[in-house]
Amino acid sequence: MAFAGSIVILFALGMAAGLGWSLASGDTALLSRALIMSLSKIPPVWIIIGISAMFYGWLPRTSSVLSWIILGSFIVIEMFWEAGLVRWSVLQVTPFAYAHYSIPINELSISSLLGLILLSAVFTGIGMVGFKRRSIGV
């Protein structure tokens, strides 16, 4: 649900932003640009989902806290980069650097995005192994 839900949310966000941008500027090409920009954020979001799944599988009692700490850390790093307090190399610790708005759409690395998808699958798989190993009584 989290993986599919994130696609739906990012699609709706891209459509809404694109429609608003297109209507305000009178340029209908901006709709597809905004939609592609929004959908390019799916792999980084999936990394967060995968990390959360991994924590839930292996550390169920602290998984929610750890997941929020990871997300919060990524957001703080992004904010520090926006303020010019950290370099791009620090931002690259976060998955969002690989689909960042500052990278033109035609320069986004497909291999990086596919790598993020693969990494999120690995994190999710590790979490599933941990979940299966837990003793959950009925």
Retrieve residue 12's tokens.
């709706």
Q: Which residue has the tokens 């303020």?
A: 83
pLDDT surpassing 90 at residue 118: yes
Q: What is the pLDDT of residue 106?
A: 84
pLDDT surpassing 90 at residue 103: no
Residue 29 is classified by DSSP as: H
pLDDT, tens only, 51-90: 999 999 999 999 999 999 999 999 999 999 999 999 999 9
Per-domain residue ranges of the chain = 1-39, 40-138
d(C-alpha 133, C-alpha 116), whole Å: 26
Please answer whether residues 126 and 112 qualify as being in contact, where contact means their C-beta atoms are separated by less than 8 angstroms. Answer: no
pLDDT surpassing 70 at residue 47: yes
Retrieve residue 7's tokens.
């696609």
Indicate the average pLDDT of the chain: 94
